[in-house]
Structure 1
Amino acid sequence: MKTLVLDPMPDRFWSLIKERHLEKYFTSDQNNSNIEIIIIRTKTFLSSKYLEKYSELKLIIRAGSGFDNIDLQETIKREIIVCTTPDSNAQAAFEHTISLILSLIKQHLTGKNQILKGKWKDGLKPCWEITDIKALIVGVGRIGSKVGKFLQTMGAEVKGVDPFLTPSEWEQRKIIETDYVTGIRWCNLITYHCPLYNQTRDYFSKKTLDEIADSIWLINTARGGILNEDAVKAGLRAGKILGLGIDVFAKEPVPTRDYFFKDNVLITPHIGAHTQNAKNRLILDTLEVWSEFVFNNKIINQIDYNFI
């Protein structure tokens, strides 16, 4: 069962392949028509046209938690299984989200620039405490539920939006369920942890801005296309967005934007999962998905096709 790895994997991945004597299952020849498994990360987009090259393809492993770079309609049509490694980056992405929230409400960047400008605390607005937060968690899965639990523990009010959770799953998470519009009208912080698919593209839009009752903190560590950039810029101009923390962009690497230089905007280059532990988990989880399929004919971590 030949496997093609299209995106760079950490060196340890290949070391384990060698240690376990699995080299014969892998090829670097993209013209090999007998490819049955493809492994990708974020750089490669598997379009229907690209997938046409591989008539024997049975499994796509997306090493990571997203799958917006795969033509899922084509995989359904051809009965190609798509699996991810959703646990590999959950802890790191959760921590990164919390760090953005705390840095914004405690005005870390603004405070630094005040000192550099020789202004000390002159004109500096009071910082927020976590107990001031009413957080709307959009996507209450592995990462969103961690974020919600942390904020609750620290005294914030938390509600969640996730149309795919069952009543028992909501009960397990101990987060109050709400719908998107009602949640937007209630909250003063929105943090996105949902996949990017048709229903969530431009999820934060100018229509969203119109629904916001009070100014909000806005966080996105999920996928770039979830935030409509024109809506973000309009929200910052109007003061409806108190502060913005983003780790993901519709196009990466992202070109510089004027609003990136604002004191209340924190940007990071998609490093939510950029920890050694997350990298190690990604390697092991990818190999587990691969090994179970190849040697045990078992499918683990298959994606939820509700997201199409």
Structure 2
Amino acid sequence: MSKPKVLISDKMDPNAARIFEERGCEVDVITGETPEELKARIGDYQGLAIRSSTTVTPEILDAATNLKVIGRAGIGVDNVDIPYASGKGVVVMNTPFGNSITTAEHAIALIMALARQIPAANEQTQAGEWPKSAFMGVEVTGKVLGLIGAGNIGSIVASRALGLRMKVIAYDPFLTAERAVELGVEKVELDALLERADFISLHTPLTEETRNILSRENLAKTKPGVRIVNCARGGLIDEEALKESLESGHVAGAALDVFAKEPAKDSPLFGTKNFICTPHLGASTTEAQVNVALQVAEQMSDYLVNGGVTNALNMPSLSAEEAPKLAPYMGLAEKLGSLVGQLAHGNLTKISIERSGAAAELNGKPITGAVLSGFMRRYSDTVNMVNAPYLAKERGLDVREIRHDREGVYHTLIRVTVDTEQGQRSVAGTLFGNEAPRLVDIFGIGIEADLKGHMLYIVNEDAPGFIGRIGTLLGENGINIGNFNLGRHKEGGDAVLLLSVDQPIDADVVKQACGLEGVKVVTPLSF
């Protein structure tokens, strides 16, 4: 079996390449290429490791015919078209924790620089002016720090600020009351934060909801004399409005490490009094650069070699330890999704995935992803666990996950149900010996079958002689039967026959089978 190939297209710590190799990947380090050069090369690789220099566009993704994963050494993924990558079935990962401390420390440093006007004082002192009376700073002790965003980096800033004896308040829709108590911060609404904060530090991703969160209107709501720091993402602040607020004196100072447009060569803020800026240095420490490079190599290797998914932005996480345990369940789930997708007809609008017994105790998201991966093959032959949820959403499919603690007849069970114009259609399966997938129920009829290869699904009237007739028909057409799997509702009612065969069933054979006495449904299947 050939090793997965990874391309490192941006400069990063050389130990990243070593980790890829130690964990079973081939790696090429080729940096500084043009988009056209990368486009011509990328088709040879299953993994692409980047920092901020490489931009992964739809054109590059179209050329990346073998690509399985993109790893961003760092937190920001503005340079990756994630929706397009998802549609292509490519996992996109980042390393959100590798530079957390570094970025938080930079925010604290800018808070102190603003409080004591250090950059301007340094410049004038080095010019020989000795402007001691020109710079009257403020203490941070006792001041209110307002955090917009209290996630990983924001929480570290909070702990450092509390150590400086600041009072910390935080606006974050995802911050629970319990977590706020744990962090030692006061949870507030945005307007209250703007009104009360002496310093504001932003630590939120850039989304449509957070873009220009410090707009002209919100800047006007801030406390006179407020000082603002942004080490998160450009675009969170209206830079023109911030300039006006600085010039009017309403904002006493601002320090930005990020800009709406980078590299920032002509920002309206440049030259404004009481404005400090750095060129996106939040993650720029030796320790952080090493950390994110090593982490992205570890994460990508785990995915390519073991199937583990960590810090993915477009699919559920699945640790390398979980992957082997979940693998048989995901195999069963994918087959059940594929089966119901091949048998249920018409416009399907809802799918339910139920887990009972041992399956209920597992990470359910990968199982749901596997079901959708199998099911959505009715619409696309390039579907996988990454793009299946996106394809389902595009088609308006209502996906429901149901977990039952109880254990029934089987120690573990996965059931997949779809709503059709004829009513609900359901299939269920279990694992034998915790590893062998088996179908145990198809549309309410108990049946035991292994779903693999080429199969023929037949619904017929339960009457003597039918098995002989179908066996004869297939034999006359040169089709060898691997396994017979039978089930029925009741004697004399509908019966189900699942045949495993050695080759695909063509349309002519299906037509002949439909003509047999008592046959109601004939559907060829493929797994």
TM-score by length of 2: 0.53
1:136 match: secondary structure? strand
User: How far apart are the structure 1 equivalents of 2:25 and 2:67?
Assistant: 19
User: How far apart are the structure 2 equivalents of 1:15 and 1:3?
Assistant: 12
1:140-174 CA deviation, whole Å, 9 max, x = no partner? 12211111111122221111122233444333322
Contact 1:196 1:223 in 2 (8 A): yes
Which of 142, 145, 152 aligns to 1:142? It is: 152
1:131 match: secondary structure? coil
Q: Which residue of 2 aligns with 1:107?
A: 117
Task: Give the drift of 1:282.
Answer: 1.3
Give the CA RMSD over aligned residues. Answer: 2.5
51-60 or 189-198, which moves further after superposition?
51-60
Q: Which residue of 2 aligns with 1:6?
A: 9
Contact 1:152 1:158 in 2 (8 A): yes
Aligned length: 303
Q: Which residue of 2 aligns with 1:118?
A: 129
Contact 1:170 1:176 in 2 (8 A): yes
Task: Give the drift of 1:289.
Answer: 0.5
1:280 match: secondary structure? helix
Q: Which residue of 1 aligns with 2:336?
A: none
Contact 2:20 2:298 in 1 (8 A): no
Contact 1:2 1:27 in 2 (8 A): no
User: How far apart are the structure 2 equivalents of 1:63 and 1:234?
Assistant: 36
1:82-133 CA deviation, whole Å, 9 max, x = no partner? 2111121111111111111101101213333554463633354x32111242
User: AA paired with 2:292?
Assistant: L
User: How far apart are the structure 1 equivalents of 2:13 and 2:250?
Assistant: 41
Task: Give the drift of 1:209.
Answer: 1.6
Task: Give the drift of 1:187.
Answer: 1.1
Task: Give the drift of 1:55.
Answer: 3.7
Q: Which residue of 2 aligns with 1:204?
A: 214
User: AA paired with 2:9?
Assistant: L
Contact 2:147 2:201 in 1 (8 A): yes
1:73 match: secondary structure? helix
Cα separation, partners in 2 of 1:146 and 1:208, compared to 1, 3 Å: same
Percent sequence identity is 28
2:227 match: secondary structure? strand
Q: Which residue of 1 aligns with 2:26?
A: 24
1:47-106 CA deviation, whole Å, 9 max, x = no partner? 334322224432221110112222222234344322111121111111111111101101
Contact 2:19 2:298 in 1 (8 A): no
2:26 match: secondary structure? helix
Contact 1:59 1:82 in 2 (8 A): yes
Aligned pair 1:77/2:79, yes or no? no
2:146 match: secondary structure? strand
Q: Which residue of 1 aligns with 2:469?
A: none
Q: Which residue of 1 aligns with 2:401?
A: none
Contact 1:36 1:58 in 2 (8 A): yes
1:173-197 CA deviation, whole Å, 9 max, x = no partner? 2221122222112212111111122
162-171 or 142-151, which moves further after superposition?
162-171
Cα separation, partners in 2 of 1:49 and 1:244, compared to 1, 3 Å: same
Cα separation, partners in 2 of 1:141 and 1:289, compared to 1, 3 Å: same
Contact 1:65 1:85 in 2 (8 A): yes
Higher relative contact order (CA 8 A, sep 6+): 1
Cα separation, partners in 2 of 1:267 and 1:27, compared to 1, 3 Å: closer
User: How far apart are the structure 2 equivalents of 1:284 and 1:11?
Assistant: 9
User: How far apart are the structure 2 equivalents of 1:57 and 1:2?
Assistant: 9
1:140 match: secondary structure? coil
146-155 or 27-36, which moves further after superposition?
27-36
User: How far apart are the structure 2 equivalents of 1:297 and 1:103?
Assistant: 46
Higher strand share: 2
Q: Which residue of 2 aligns with 1:154?
A: 164
2:245 match: secondary structure? helix
Q: Which residue of 1 aligns with 2:252?
A: 242
198-207 or 93-102, which moves further after superposition?
198-207
Aligned pair 1:255/2:257, yes or no? no
- Structure ID, larger Rg: 2
User: How far apart are the structure 2 equivalents of 1:96 and 1:73?
Assistant: 31
User: How far apart are the structure 2 equivalents of 1:211 and 1:49?
Assistant: 44
Contact 2:15 2:294 in 1 (8 A): no
Which of 139, 161, 164 aligns to 1:129? It is: 139
Which of 270, 288, 296 aligns to 1:286? It is: 296
Contact 2:146 2:171 in 1 (8 A): yes
User: How far apart are the structure 2 equivalents of 1:21 and 1:72?
Assistant: 26
Contact 2:19 2:294 in 1 (8 A): no
Contact 1:247 1:270 in 2 (8 A): yes
1:250 match: secondary structure? coil
Cα separation, partners in 2 of 1:57 and 1:258, compared to 1, 3 Å: closer
User: How far apart are the structure 2 equivalents of 1:208 and 1:127?
Assistant: 25
66-75 or 291-300, which moves further after superposition?
66-75
Q: Which residue of 2 aligns with 1:188?
A: 198
Contact 1:135 1:191 in 2 (8 A): yes
Aligned pair 1:268/2:265, yes or no? no
